[in-house]
Structure 1
Amino acid sequence: MNQKMTFYIMSHSGARIRELTISKHMIRLMLLFLCGLFLAFVWMIYDYTRLFVAASELPVLHSELMQSEENLGIQRQQIQIFAKELNLLKSRIMTLSEFEQKIRTIANLQTPEGGEGIFGLGGPQVEDLDTRLELSETHASLIREMHDRVVQLDTGSLERIDGFETLLKSLENQRNLLAVTPAIRPADGWVTSRFGYRTSPFTGKREFHSGLDIANRIGTAVVATADGVVSFAGDRGAIGLVVTVDHGHGLVTRYGHLHKALVKAGQKVRRGEVIAKMGNSGRSTGPHVHYEVRLNGVPVNPGRYILD
């Protein structure tokens, strides 16, 4: 049986008393309805407050969004600038590769095995980055390409460093070889006898002349025709007072019939340095210098080593 509650309503005007009977179940429903209504009211106030706060922060968020978009635009421009710089750097490395190859061609040097590299003349062609792309959607792809290009540039630059180091070493070796290769006249004067077979001025018979005779006045300067070390300075009988210079690599030069030696054994000399005075010592028909070039102990034509 449902319990009920009875309410009596009285009026101050003298009207009759009214009676209102409500079940307790209905009262509970009314209380729940009032509580729900109260909670809905509280929620509306909270939501309104939250929206009000959010609305007050909207200008700040809008400003931050505009700033972020501006920063993003600047970053995209910087990405494009960086891509252009990578293209320029790639071009410079390729120019260095071509320059290295030209030097090797001029110096008659072979390209080291495996030294062509990514950006070498014989390597695969690497396309430039496309900096004209709209970065709103493709910047991630461009960044990946830029990362790959940085790796390629790093590899290419290391190979160019190795290539120039080997080139420098080869050029240094060639420079040293050229420095010790006879290349100038040993003295001023007139060639009176060349390399090869001739009629001996003393016996009248055919003999082999192992050098080049250059005649001039006694005391005329005799110079070293290449860098080297004096291996002998003294009398050698028929060739008279002689200076011998060892240039390394099997090359030796001899200067005979001298009047005076200005160097001694063990002394280093440079190309063009005065090492003696022309004379008429030994078996000679007049003042001159007998100039010999020997390669691995065998006399060779000195005229081939005179370039001035």
Structure 2
Amino acid sequence: MSKHYTVLVIDDKGSPVRERVVSKRLMAALVATVCITISAIAAGGYHYTRLYRSVAEKEQMQSQIMRQRADIESQRKQLQTFAQNINELKANLISLNEFESKIRILANLEHKADQASLFAIGGSMPDDLDTDLPLKEGHDSLVRDMHTHINQVNQASAVQQNSFETLLKSLKSKRNLLASTPSLRPAKGWVSSDFGYRVSPFTGRREFHKGIDIANHQDTPIIAPADGVITYAQEKWLIGNMITIDHGYGMLTRYGHLHKMLKKKGERVKRGETIALMGNTGRSTGPHVHYEVHLNGVPVNPMHYILD
């Protein structure tokens, strides 16, 4: 059996055919080398392709991780900002509570409960959220605390709203009371007779004078010292032409010896509005207005209700 191969070499230029003798062992080695080379190239290409894909996937994952980290960092910053907003909202509620307390003091209204009752947490103010807490360590803790504080702020807001509504009603009532409280001198002039006991210029006897007399020229304007409703406007025996104003809240004022009445029964009047002109009707020693103030049906000193 032959142990070699004869290889004919033919080129395309018409050169004579050449023979080459190659041993089978060498041919086998050549074939094996070629197969190994091809396999190595194929394996290298396969591994290269896998490595290229792995590198690409790694870069993609790294890029995705970076984006996720940026999103997480942004969310953490938003949580910190939100926590700061909650702290500011609590501070604003406390300021509103203090402002309301000041208004109540100025308006002489019932004292309001303190700040602790605003949040109603065991009688003490809740601590502010720690916005400098490292979120990598206390992320879940901060979120839980934020939920707790949000509930507290919501409850405190409801309490403050109800308190403001009560305050508004009280202020409206106070405003109406102040508007209905006599505070102006009903006429220009001088006080010719004071409130209290005196000797009557007509009988010479000691009697109780229920008001004050303010004297001036006839037809001097007489004004309403507070808001109210005219409940009487006609002549009444010794006091002459008389007007009575009901101011509400148990307050009533009376004006006598008028020359001319400018308002009728049932009309509403405002503080400072002219209601009559000074006169000398009824039993009188000269032009003046007899001015009375009644509180819950009892005559009181009108000078206590003249602030101008």
Judge same fold: TM > 0.5, yes or no.
yes
Instruction: Give the secondary structure class of the aligned counterpart of 1:117.
Output: helix
Instruction: List aligned pairs for 1:5-154, cutoff 5 A.
Output: 11=1, 53-111=53-111, 117-119=117-119, 123-154=123-154
Partner residue in 2 for 1:157: 157
Given that residues 97 and 121 in structure 1 are in contact (C-alpha distance below 8 angstroms), is that contact kept between their aligned partners in structure 2? no
Partner residue in 1 for 2:251: 251
The offset of 1:109, in angstroms, is 1.5
Given that residues 116 and 124 in structure 2 are in contact (C-alpha distance below 8 angstroms), is that contact kept between their aligned partners in structure 1? no
Larger CA deviation: 159-168 vs 51-60: 51-60
1:284 aligns with 2:251: no
The offset of 1:49, in angstroms, is 6.6
1:231 aligns with 2:231: yes
The residue type paired with residue 199 of structure 1 is V
State the TM-score, normalizing by the size of structure 1: 0.81
Given that residues 94 and 120 in structure 1 are in contact (C-alpha distance below 8 angstroms), is that contact kept between their aligned partners in structure 2? no
1:271 aligns with 2:258: no
- 1:13-58 alpha-carbon deviations (Å, 9 max, x no partner): 7xxxxxxxxxxxxxxxxxxxxxxxxxxxxxxx99987665343222
CA distance in 2 between counterparts of 1:87 and 1:148 reads 12
The residue type paired with residue 183 of structure 2 is A
Given that residues 232 and 243 in structure 1 are in contact (C-alpha distance below 8 angstroms), is that contact kept between their aligned partners in structure 2? yes
Given that residues 94 and 119 in structure 1 are in contact (C-alpha distance below 8 angstroms), is that contact kept between their aligned partners in structure 2? no
- 1:78-98 alpha-carbon deviations (Å, 9 max, x no partner): 111111111111111101111
The offset of 1:121, in angstroms, is 12
Partner residue in 2 for 1:31: none
CA distance in 2 between counterparts of 1:207 and 1:139 reads 86
Partner residue in 2 for 1:173: 173
Given that residues 244 and 255 in structure 2 are in contact (C-alpha distance below 8 angstroms), is that contact kept between their aligned partners in structure 1? yes
Given that residues 115 and 163 in structure 1 are in contact (C-alpha distance below 8 angstroms), is that contact kept between their aligned partners in structure 2? no
Given that residues 186 and 222 in structure 1 are in contact (C-alpha distance below 8 angstroms), is that contact kept between their aligned partners in structure 2? yes
Partner residue in 1 for 2:192: 192
The offset of 1:62, in angstroms, is 0.9
1:204 aligns with 2:204: yes
The offset of 1:112, in angstroms, is 5.9
Given that residues 256 and 291 in structure 1 are in contact (C-alpha distance below 8 angstroms), is that contact kept between their aligned partners in structure 2? yes
Partner residue in 2 for 1:17: none
- 1:213-252 alpha-carbon deviations (Å, 9 max, x no partner): 0000001110011111000111001000011111112211
CA distance in 2 between counterparts of 1:295 and 1:67 reads 79
CA spacing shift, 1:93–1:294, aligned 2, 3 Å: same
CA distance in 2 between counterparts of 1:241 and 1:273 reads 18
Given that residues 186 and 222 in structure 2 are in contact (C-alpha distance below 8 angstroms), is that contact kept between their aligned partners in structure 1? yes
The offset of 1:111, in angstroms, is 3.9
CA distance in 2 between counterparts of 1:122 and 1:295 reads 46
CA spacing shift, 1:115–1:203, aligned 2, 3 Å: farther
Unaligned runs of 5+ in 1: 1-10, 14-44
The residue type paired with residue 299 of structure 1 is P
| RMSD, matched Cα | 2.6
CA spacing shift, 1:264–1:168, aligned 2, 3 Å: same
Instruction: Give the secondary structure class of the aligned counterpart of 2:117.
Output: coil
CA distance in 1 between counterparts of 2:303 and 2:122 reads 41
Given that residues 241 and 259 in structure 1 are in contact (C-alpha distance below 8 angstroms), is that contact kept between their aligned partners in structure 2? yes
Given that residues 212 and 302 in structure 1 are in contact (C-alpha distance below 8 angstroms), is that contact kept between their aligned partners in structure 2? yes
The offset of 1:296, in angstroms, is 2.4
CA spacing shift, 1:78–1:94, aligned 2, 3 Å: same
CA distance in 1 between counterparts of 2:120 and 2:281 reads 61
CA distance in 2 between counterparts of 1:106 and 1:123 reads 26
CA distance in 1 between counterparts of 2:119 and 2:214 reads 54
Partner residue in 2 for 1:38: none
The offset of 1:254, in angstroms, is 0.5
CA distance in 1 between counterparts of 2:122 and 2:274 reads 49
Given that residues 280 and 287 in structure 1 are in contact (C-alpha distance below 8 angstroms), is that contact kept between their aligned partners in structure 2? yes
Given that residues 229 and 268 in structure 1 are in contact (C-alpha distance below 8 angstroms), is that contact kept between their aligned partners in structure 2? yes
The residue type paired with residue 152 of structure 1 is Q
The residue type paired with residue 299 of structure 2 is P
Given that residues 115 and 159 in structure 1 are in contact (C-alpha distance below 8 angstroms), is that contact kept between their aligned partners in structure 2? no
Unaligned runs of 5+ in 2: 4-44
The offset of 1:12, in angstroms, is 5.6
State the TM-score, normalizing by the size of structure 2: 0.81
Given that residues 97 and 120 in structure 1 are in contact (C-alpha distance below 8 angstroms), is that contact kept between their aligned partners in structure 2? no
The offset of 1:119, in angstroms, is 3.9
Given that residues 191 and 213 in structure 1 are in contact (C-alpha distance below 8 angstroms), is that contact kept between their aligned partners in structure 2? yes
